[in-house]
Amino acid sequence: MHFLFFRAIKIPVFLIPVLIVGIVLGIMGYFYMSFHYSYRDTDAISWAVANKVIVVDAGHGGIDPGAVGPSGVLEKNINLAVAKRLCQYLSQGGAIVVMTREDDQCFSSKKKADLDARIALAEKHQADIFISIQGNAIQSSRWSGAQTFYHPGSEEGKKLAVSVQQEMVRILKNTKRQAQPHTGAYILRQLTMPTIVVEVGFISNPQEEKMLNDPQYQGKVAYAIYSGVVKYFSKE
Ligand SMILES: [Zn+2]
């Protein structure tokens, strides 16, 4: 019966199996792609960051090591490693990424001048958002978990922080911390664009210090931040 259809549109008989195989493969491909993209939803909506100007700030650097872990891991190195991976993800998504530093240096030996230079760089590029990568440290070695901070005066900063923190909770699976307002951080007070400080974990906790020093975990943290940024922009 079906052959009559093909006869009617004058397709040579030997092409019929080729045509059928082609149609079947096409249908299978469609279902594979729709499954694939619903599973990797962050990749599918990464257009959301295309052409956004995003400052990625690796905290500290040079003479300023930041926090020092119990086994000697330096916060400045963790910050830079995560910042570089985040820059890769964002660039692949089509964002215009401005790094405040790409190697082990800072802008000034004076803390305020160093932060002012990072702020000036972001304002000069008229960045859409600013992400500062930092590491947490506290006297007690028990505390752990990544956490994102925003300025309470910035509604967009809060949305961005909540989105990034949700993705860190979902992807890292090792913290239930929530995004928190913070009035004390100079960078959060000074910058005019939506700004977050991502504390990637507690360097003062020996287990987390070890994890944060692992390039694979650094990549995972960077991917979680990236995913949060994509979701923030896709809701705009
Ligand atoms: Zn820091």
Per-residue pLDDT tens over the stretch 18-37: 888 888 887 777 766 655 54
Residue 160: which of 197, 106, 127 has the closest Cα?
197
Task: Give 30-65 pLDDT, tens digit per residue.
Answer: 766 655 544 456 766 678 999 999 999 999 999 999
Residues 58 and 141 in one domain: yes
Its pTM stands at 0.82
CA 61 – ligand 1 centroid, Å:
10
CA 19 – ligand 1 centroid, Å:
62
CA 60 – ligand 1 centroid, Å:
6
CA 66 – ligand 1 centroid, Å:
5
Mean pLDDT computed over 187-206:
97
Evaluate if residue 69 carries a pLDDT over 60: yes
Residues 32 and 52 in one domain: no
Q: What is the mean pLDDT of the chain?
A: 91
Least confident range of 19-33, 74-88, 98-112, 128-142: 19-33
Residues 27 and 62 in one domain: no
Residues 102 and 212 in one domain: yes
Residues 29 and 144 in one domain: no
Residues 61 and 21 in one domain: no
User: What percentage of the chain exceeds 70 in pLDDT?
Assistant: 89
Q: How does DSSP classify residue 64?
A: B
CA 106 – ligand 1 centroid, Å:
13
CA 232 – ligand 1 centroid, Å:
24
**What pLDDT is recorded for position 2?**
55
Mean pLDDT computed over 104-133:
97
Amino acid at 143: W
**What pLDDT is recorded for position 11?**
67
Q: Which residues are registered as beta bridge partners of 133? A: 58, 198
**What pLDDT is recorded for position 27?**
77
**Structural domain range at position 139:** 46-234
Residue 58: which of 222, 189, 170 has the closest Cα?
222
Residues 221 and 139 in one domain: yes
Residues 100 and 177 in one domain: yes
**What pLDDT is recorded for position 22?**
83
Residues 31 and 96 in one domain: no
The dihedral through the CA atoms of 164, 170, 175, 176 has a sign that is positive
Task: Give 145-185 pLDDT, tens digit per residue.
Answer: 999 999 999 999 999 999 999 999 999 999 999 999 999 89
CA 62 – ligand 1 centroid, Å:
13
- DSSP-based three-state secondary structure for 198: strand
As for how many domains the chain has, the answer is: 2
Residues 115 and 189 in one domain: yes
Residue 222: which of 182, 167, 154 has the closest Cα?
167
H-state helical runs in the chain: 2-8, 16-39, 41-44, 75-92, 111-124, 155-172, 186-190, 206-212, 215-234
Evaluate if residue 125 carries a pLDDT over 60: yes
> Phi and psi dihedrals of 55, rounded to 5?
-90, 125
Task: Give 212-226 pLDDT, tens digit per residue.
Answer: 999 999 999 999 999
Q: Which two tokens stand for residue 164?
A: 């990034």
Residues 66 and 92 in one domain: yes
Q: Which two tokens stand for residue 76?
A: 């400045």
Amino acid at 139: Q
Residues 140 and 62 in one domain: yes
Please state, in angstroms and rounded to a whole number, the distance separating the CA atoms of residues 26 and 28.
5
**What pLDDT is recorded for position 38?**
45
CA 194 – ligand 1 centroid, Å:
19
For residue 50, give the CATH number of its domain: 3.40.630.40
User: What percentage of the chain exceeds 90 in pLDDT?
Assistant: 79
Q: Which two tokens stand for residue 145?
A: 């978990």
CA 212 – ligand 1 centroid, Å:
14
